[in-house]
Amino acid sequence: MDIIEISKVLSNKTRLKILYWLKSPEDHFPFQHIKGNFEDGVCVQYIGEKSGLSLSTISHYLSIMQRAGLVIQSRFGKYTYYRRNEERIAEYADYLKANL
Amino acid sequence: MDIIEISKVLSNKTRLKILYWLKSPEDHFPFQHIKGNFEDGVCVQYIGEKSGLSLSTISHYLSIMQRAGLVIQSRFGKYTYYRRNEERIAEYADYLKANL
DNA sequence: ATAATATTTTGATAATTATCGAAATATAAA
DNA sequence: TTTATATTTCGATAATTATCAAAATATTAT
């Protein structure tokens, strides 16, 4: 469990918001083409639009979030979906509680 | 509970070490002048020496750690002691568990 | 009062992170 | 197989953080 890597991810307002939005995508992302449910998460475009930052920035954010283990990426055709990695997120909080 | 502020503090190896050392000062700081116990924590010099960084850097680190609520400062004469703020630290982990 | 010691603050530069637009990839659609 | 769309990667610059040495403060000891 890399506290430094995860803390860096959490040191940014937009990344925290992304994590929050992905808790309940139905409430935060109005519609999505193709896959009607949110099982696999939300695609990069939508997250980008909602964030107000450029897609390249958001793509980069999501990749460091995934490297840190906080989200899970899955690609379907030309779309990339991201969803929370609930296990890891809970694990991190537990780890801090026990070791910080 | 400011996740960003606290995460920034935790995004640094030396600051994490300080938090760790302060868990059991007796094990990490061999002796201390004047106050024989560690009730009030450890003084800046010792933390500085152990860290290998300059005192000005460590003083600055400790002040942002205190601003974030993770340590408690107390001054006695010309010495400043720092100790962990266990309540806040535990609170933070709980907060992440519930809200991240 | 003066000198010595501990800590903090300031000012500077190096290193890292944020962020964009453009270019490159990947894949689907025509 | 060209074209259009989604995403990622690259290259650049702005903003923030890291870190030091020197100067300024605080307080004790002479």
Give the tens place of pLDDT for each residue, A36-91. Answer: 567 789 999 999 999 999 999 999 999 999 999 999 999 999 999 999 999 999 99
Asked whether strand D has any atom less than 7 Å from the CB of A60, the reply is yes
Residue A67 lies in a domain: yes
* CB burial string A84-97: b at 16+ within 10 A, e below: bbeebbeebbebbe
Residue A21 lies in a domain: yes
Collapsing DSSP to helix, strand or coil, B67 comes out as helix
Nearest residue in A to B2, CA atom: A11
pLDDT in tens, A1-21: 999 999 999 999 999 999 999
CA distance B78 to chain A (A): 30
Asked whether strand D has any atom less than 7 Å from the CB of B60, the reply is yes
Residue A27 lies in a domain: yes
Q: How many CB pairs below 8 Å do chains A and B form together?
A: 49
Cα Rg of chain A (Å, integer): 14
DSSP-derived letter for residue A33 is S
Report residue B30's pLDDT band, with 50, 70 and 90 as the boundaries.
confident
Looking at the structure of chain A, the number of domains it has is 1
CATH number at residue A73: 1.10.10.10
Q: State the pLDDT at residue A40.
A: 81
Report residue B35's pLDDT band, with 50, 70 and 90 as the boundaries.
low
Q: Which residue is nearest to nucleotide C27 (CA to C1')?
A: A78
Which 61-90 positions of B have CB less than 7 A from strand C? 62-63, 73, 78-81
Residue A100 lies in a domain: no
Query: Is residue B39 scored above 90 in pLDDT?
Result: no
Query: Is residue B84 scored above 80 in pLDDT?
Result: yes
Q: State the pLDDT at residue B31.
A: 65
Residue A47 lies in a domain: yes
B-contacting residues in A 41-100 (Cβ below 8 Å): 89-90, 92-94, 96-97, 100
Q: Which residue is nearest to nucleotide D29 (CA to C1')?
A: B78
Containing domain of residue A79, as a range? 3-95
Question: Rounded to whole angstroms, how far apart are CA atoms B100 and A90?
Answer: 8
CA distance A34 to chain B (A): 29
Residue A20 lies in a domain: yes
Residue A22 lies in a domain: yes
Q: Which of A1-5, A82-86, B30-34, B95-99 has the lowest mean pLDDT?
A: B30-34
* Residue A8, C-beta contacts closer than 8 angstroms, at least 6 positions apart: A64, A68, B7, B11
Taking CB atoms and an 8 Å limit, are A96 and B93 in contact across chains?
yes
- Looking at every residue in chain B, the average pLDDT score rounds to 93
